[in-house]
């Protein structure tokens, strides 16, 4: 018996082979039994879904990289991560002997709340903190669901950044890029209960319960890897798993299609 699985939140699967195949596909999605769907229809549906995901990836990342590819060098022990969720898109990637290795991912929860998991601290590590200035600003706009022209630095936003060194990293980023802002950068964890903040930002090795509380309030989350391997439970919260460390290779954004690399030493 053949089975078909539809994951919640995925784009709809469509058939182009006529109403009979389309009806059979709908029945298969409802029942999980694909015995009555032709191989041709399944192939067409798979191609359609892949194209929809590729188009979504390209459109989303074009808002973060409107001027095209940005280049930088990530520091040693930057983290490679593998996505286990169709809701994730690659943000920072590198080429290594013909393989694509992904360092950073963006995605959203089922309720639409957005997140970013970065393989390195783009706020403090040179030269990534200045090389990626434009895309980091656009990433923040995307997380906050602002248009690309929004002057978010002069919005009266509250960022919850509980960690002292994470607040220092953000301050370093403003200084390195000559940026001024009107944000309130708070360490007050009581905001997780009130929801009186706009974005949670911090080291990925902070308590995952903080991130879950932020998601529970419908607030976007941006976390980054500084040095140590992230906890498996934390990565799972974002539909990711650990791959390995990398460093001092040329980094670039890989556009056009979702990337699902698996890389192990």
More confident call, 258 vs 187: 187
More confident call, 244 vs 164: 164
> Hey, where are the domains in the chain?
1-55, 65-252
What's the burial of 143, exposed, middle or buried (CB within 10 Å: 0-12/13-18/19+)?
buried
pLDDT (tens digit, 9 = 90+) per residue, 204-242? 999 999 999 999 999 999 999 987 888 999 999 999 998
Give the whole-angstrom CA distance, residue 135 versus residue 137: 5
Percent of the chain with pLDDT over 70: 71
Measured CA to CA in angstroms, residue 57 lies from 7, 42, 63, 186, 218 at distances of: 17, 22, 10, 33, 23
Residue matched to tokens 């670039």: 252
Give the chain's radius of gyration (CA, Å): 20
Contact 132, 122 (CB under 8 A): yes
């Amino acid at each position: 018996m053949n089975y078909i699985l539809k994951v919640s939140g995925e784009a709809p699967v469509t058939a182009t082979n006529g109403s009979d195949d389309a009806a059979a596909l709908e029945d298969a999605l409802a029942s999980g039994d694909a015995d009555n769907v032709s191989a041709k229809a399944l192939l067409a549906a798979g191609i359609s879904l892949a194209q929809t995901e590729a188009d979504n990836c390209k459109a989303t990342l074009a808002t973060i990289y409107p001027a095209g590819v940005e280049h930088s060098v990530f520091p040693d022990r930057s983290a490679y991560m593998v996505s286990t969720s169709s809701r994730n898109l690659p943000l920072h990637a590198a080429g290594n002997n013909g393989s694509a290795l992904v360092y950073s991912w963006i995605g959203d929860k089922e309720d639409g709340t957005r997140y970013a998991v970065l393989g390195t601290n783009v706020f403090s590590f040179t030269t990534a903190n200045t090389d990626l200035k434009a895309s980091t600003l656009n990433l923040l706009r995307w997380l906050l669901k602002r248009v690309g022209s929004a002057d978010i630095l002069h919005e009266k936003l509250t960022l919850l950044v509980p960690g002292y060194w994470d607040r220092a990293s953000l301050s370093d980023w403003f200084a390195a890029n000559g940026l001024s802002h009107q944000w309130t950068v708070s360490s007050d964890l009581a905001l997780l209960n009130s929801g009186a903040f706009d974005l949670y930002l911090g080291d990925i090795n902070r308590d995952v319960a903080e991130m879950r509380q932020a998601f529970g309030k419908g607030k976007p989350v941006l976390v980054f890897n500084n040095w140590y391997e992230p906890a498996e439970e934390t990565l799972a919260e974002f539909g990711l798993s650990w791959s390995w460390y990398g460093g001092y290779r040329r980094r670039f954004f890989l556009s056009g299609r979702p990337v699902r690399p698996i890389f192990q030493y």
